[in-house]
Amino acid sequence: MFASAESGSDVYDAWVTRMRHLPTTVISTTGPSSVGWPDASVVNGDALDAVTQLKTDSDTPLRSHGSIIMNMALVHAGLVDEIQVTIFPVLSGRTGVKPIFSGAEDFNLELIESQTFDGHIQELTYRPSRHG
């Protein structure tokens, strides 16, 4: 969606514009050798190995957007220092699919930061640690 959007479209708010201008690493086992994203590099191979190497080599804090399966694998491997959860106050009992953390291991979450936007939306940042 972001890669194909025209400059100046509604997709390009301040957050997306900033994200598009940060260095990006795409980790893939089946994908192409390049993507339509500025300053992006593609790493082919195991995501856990790639993230371990990125954490060692990079002075820039890493963020992961996208696959919940990959993100949970990173949490399980102990490679995630913080989990940021944004709560949108909506009930979707009839239209919701399944809980996002269904089947995940048990973790304790220590709240390290919170922010409320427009009196409704909350952004919560936690430090995960294995439960038990």
- Structural domains in the chain, sorted by start: 67-130 (3.40.430.10)
Q: What is the mean pLDDT of residues 94-110?
A: 81
More reliable by pLDDT, 21 or 6 = 21
- 131: how many CB neighbours lie within 10 A of its CB? 9
Query: What pTM value is reported for the model?
Result: 0.71
pLDDT of residue 19: 76
pLDDT of residue 21: 78
